[in-house]
């Protein structure tokens, strides 16, 4: 308990010195109150901030939902997710409309790259007739032809 108290005091001192807040990931009220977020499994809800934090720009920026980012299973493991749980989180985040696949890495890719994702605004349409469901299992990356 005293270690936690010391850590909080250090954080407060740093905040007072620099005037800046420690890094955090904003989760907008629109997301928290959405049908998609309310129905998503708990492990995927815990993974969502890690995906949201990958895009380092303002949520109002037009490129916010178009910026691809890598996310590997080893990185998910560093955040405390077992491989099977992290795989399920990815599937759930796609199914509920929070992320979209860009490229598959690992064994289904060229075995040297991380999977690439981008944030998606499909969650806003979740539960409505025009919602478009995307599944990781059926995702086929676009191939560049020359």
Three-class SS state of 46 = helix
pLDDT grade for 110, boundaries at 50, 70 and 90: low
How far is it, in rounded angstroms, from Cα 25 to Cα 91?
Answer: 21
The domains located in the chain, with CATH, are: 26-124 (1.10.10)
Average pLDDT, the chain: 83
User: Sign (positive/negative) of CA torsion 96, 102, 106, 112?
Assistant: negative
Q: Is the pLDDT at 41 greater than 80, yes or no?
A: yes
pLDDT grade for 59, boundaries at 50, 70 and 90: confident
């Amino acid at each position: 308990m005293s270690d936690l108290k010391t850590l909080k005091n250090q954080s407060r001192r740093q905040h007072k010195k620099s005037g800046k807040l420690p890094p955090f990931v904003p989760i907008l009220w629109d997301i928290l109150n959405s049908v998609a977020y309310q129905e998503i499994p708990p492990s995927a809800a815990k993974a969502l901030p890690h995906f949201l934090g990958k895009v380092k720009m303002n949520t109002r920026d037009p490129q916010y939902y178009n910026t691809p980012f890598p996310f590997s299973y080893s990185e998910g493991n560093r955040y405390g997710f077992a491989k099977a749980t992290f795989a399920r989180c990815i599937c759930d985040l796609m199914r509920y409309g929070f992320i979209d696949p860009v490229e598959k890495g690992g064994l289904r890719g060229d075995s040297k790259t991380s999977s690439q994702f981008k944030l998606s605004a499909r969650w806003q349409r979740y539960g409505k007739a025009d919602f478009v469901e995307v599944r990781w299992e059926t995702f086929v990356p676009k191939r560049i032809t020359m």
